[in-house]
């Protein structure tokens, strides 16, 4: 399973998403987007590339095997699919 999590420092939902993967022993790649300009570029690029289904402007953004899962609440709703 290939997991990418886009986060920023000081984001409690980002921390909770990262902790879910760590607690389940699942490796992931975290990209921290602290610079607001870089974060905006990320959102614009993801929307332009259609990697994200809606006009997203929040973190975390989670991708599993290149499928956009969404944010922490989306991950929580689907946790039984990813965490056994």
Closest by CA position to 32, among listed 56, 69, 4: 4
11-60: pLDDT as tens digits: 999 999 999 999 999 999 999 999 999 999 999 988 887 777 777 889 99
What is the reported pLDDT for 42?
92
Residue 2 is given by DSSP the state: -
60 vs 14: CA distance, rounded Å: 5
Total-model pTM: 0.91
Number of folded domains that form the chain? 1
Q: What angle do CA 46, 3, 40 make, to 5 degrees?
A: 25
For residue 12, give the nearest of 44, 45, 60 by alpha carbon.
Answer: 60
CATH number for the domain harbouring residue 63: 3.40.30.10
Mean of pLDDT over the chain: 93
- Per-residue model confidence as pLDDT tens digits over 72-82: 999 999 999 98
Q: Is the pLDDT of residue 71 over 80?
A: yes
**Residue numbers of the domain that contains 59:** 3-82
């Amino acid at each position: 399973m290939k997991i990418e999590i886009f986060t920023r420092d000081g984001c409690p939902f980002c921390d909770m998403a990262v902790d879910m993967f760590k607690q389940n022993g699942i490796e992931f790649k975290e990209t921290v987007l602290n610079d607001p300009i870089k974060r905006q570029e990320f959102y614009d690029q993801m929307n332009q590339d259609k990697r994200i289904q809606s006009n997203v402007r929040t973190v975390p953004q989670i991708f599993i095997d290149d499928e956009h899962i969404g944010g922490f609440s989306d991950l929580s709703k689907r946790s039984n699919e990813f965490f056994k």
